[in-house]
């Protein structure tokens, strides 16, 4: 009997699953992939796209083409509901897909800041009416909507008068917050060199890159200084207010553009399912990446919370999970024993600085330079070429 394998989401881990079934076809398994788009962002290249190094298409995986190679059916409609007892998923277009084995790789989203509207026009500062409105928000998650928001922001920037002053504030002191701020500033300065751009980064942690060694932190702090960014640690952004960001202590930080790169949480629709979720809405999984208490249902990448060892939300872990997930999904379809996945003790993080350089961080080890950026470019290019058909004009 053919087993129905349903892949919910088109993240990095599921790309490895499709590759595995393309390389070792299995006539006993029928695969369906559901996602909101046939093109999926590769998170490692997103900052380079923001800085203008890559086009959007050069940072995306063609999931529909990968499905063709694997003999899988692709449906361009995301899942919005799950019935675990009936083994069915409902899609946004209203269709219902039945499955025997399912896997979630739907990424994460962000807890967006509260927006406090102005009470009156009193106290408007030297910038005039702009200070009576909230700053423009660019949320770093979900990746599927980032390109629309970035395009809209750049269109707003194109309308600014020459000589204007703009303060870009990033909320979040992790690698994503640091890297995206430097990338965004590089692109905006290139787009509008006639505007005075300033950068500011606020982090709730007492240091940048929590968990990294002192050398990677020092290299990152140096890169931010070179990019004209002021860093505030031990400060938690809470809300958008007229003219800036309000911290949890009531302090006001002036901002015209706010990059929100903190507070990762699970997709909201998962809360309406019977899946076991942790306090942030991520799906609890065991060492084999099988959902706790749900035989034949798996999760990987940002949406998964490994019960035995909580992991940072970074694409590198989804990449490492991919091959193990593929083998366990195949085993589950055939009723075979699952294999535990062992997370790496340390992973390599490559942080672009928006100026043709990058920082490498692995535990306490860190180094930087143009050659690191070129190394990162080669890694990213190999990853995308692995899952994409050759580009044609």
Question: What are the 10-residue block averages of pLDDT along the chain, 393 residues in total?
Answer: 95 96 97 95 92 92 96 97 96 97 95 80 44 83 88 95 96 92 96 97 91 90 96 93 93 95 91 96 97 97 90 88 97 97 88 93 90 94 90 45
Domains 3-108+266-345 and 114-263 share a fold: yes
Q: What is the pLDDT of residue 271?
A: 96
Q: What is the pLDDT of residue 122?
A: 46
In which residue are the tokens 């204007």 written? 164
Cα 286 versus chain centre, distance: 23
Q: What is the pLDDT of residue 119?
A: 64
Q: What is the total residue count of the chain?
A: 393
What is the C-alpha separation between 283 and 271, in angstroms, rounded?
Answer: 10
Fold (topology level) of 3-108+266-345 = FAD/NAD(P)-binding domain (3.50.50)
Which residues touch 91 (CB under 8 Å, ≥6 apart)? Answer: 34, 75, 77, 78, 79, 80, 97
The strand ranges marked E within 36-100 are: 39-41, 60-62, 73-75, 79-83, 88-91, 96-98
Contact present, 135 and 30 (Cβ < 8 Å): no
Q: What is the pLDDT of residue 130?
A: 45
Domain ranges of the chain: 3-108+266-345, 114-263
Query: pTM for the whole thing?
Result: 0.90
CA distances from 244 to 121, 131, 147 (A): 15, 8, 23
Q: What is the pLDDT of residue 311?
A: 86
Architecture of domain 114-263: 3-Layer(bba) Sandwich (3.50)
Q: Torsions phi, psi of 72, nearest 5?
A: -100, 155
* Residue-wise DSSP of 158-191: HTSPTT-EEEEEEE--SHHHHHHHHHHHHHHHHH
């Amino acid at each position: 009997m053919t087993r129905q394998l349903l892949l919910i989401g088109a993240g990095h881990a599921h790309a490895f699953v499709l590759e595995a079934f393309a390389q070792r076809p299995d006539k006993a398994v029928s695969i369906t992939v559901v996602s909101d788009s046939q093109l999926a962002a590769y998170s490692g290249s997103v900052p380079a796209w923001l800085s203008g190094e890559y086009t959007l298409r050069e940072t995306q995986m063609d999931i529909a083409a990968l499905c063709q190679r694997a003999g899988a059916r692709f449906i361009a409609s995301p899942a919005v509901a799950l019935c675990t007892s009936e083994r069915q998923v409902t899609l946004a277009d209203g269709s219902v897909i039945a499955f025997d084995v399912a896997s979630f790789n739907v990424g994460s989203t962000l807890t967006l800041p509260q927006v406090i509207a102005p009470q009156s026009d009193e106290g408007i500062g030297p910038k005039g009416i702009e200070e009576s409105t909230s700053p423009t928000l660019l949320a770093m998650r979900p990746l599927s909507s980032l390109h629309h928001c970035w395009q809209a922001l750049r269109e707003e920037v194109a309308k600014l008068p020459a000589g204007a002053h703009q303060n870009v504030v990033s909320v979040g002191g992790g690698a994503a917050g640091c890297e995206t701020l430097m990338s965004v500033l590089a692109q905006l300065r290139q787009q509008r060199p006639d505007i005075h751009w300033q950068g500011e980064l606020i982090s709730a942690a007492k240091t940048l890159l929590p968990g990294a060694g002192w050398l990677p932190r020092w290299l990152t702090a140096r890169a931010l200084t070179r990019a004209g960014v002021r860093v505030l640690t031990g400060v938690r952004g809470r809300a958008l207010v007229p003219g800036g960001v309000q911290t949890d202590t009531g302090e006001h930080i002036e901002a015209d553009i706010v990059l929100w790169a903190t507070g990762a949480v699970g997709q909201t629709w998962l809360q309406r399912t019977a899946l076991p979720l942790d306090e942030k809405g991520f799906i609890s999984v065991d060492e084999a990446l099988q959902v706790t208490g749900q035989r034949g249902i798996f999760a990987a990448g940002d949406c998964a919370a490994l019960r035995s060892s909580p992991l940072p939300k970074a694409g590198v872990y989804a990449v490492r999970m991919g091959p193990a997930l593929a083998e366990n999904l195949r085993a589950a379809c055939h009723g075979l024993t699952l294999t535990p996945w062992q997370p790496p003790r340390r992973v390599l993080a490559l942080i672009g600085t928006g100026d043709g350089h990058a920082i490498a961080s692995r535990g306490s080890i860190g180094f930087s330079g143009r050659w690191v950026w070129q190394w990162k470019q080669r890694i990213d290019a190999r990853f995308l070429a692995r899952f994409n058909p050759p580009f044609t004009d």
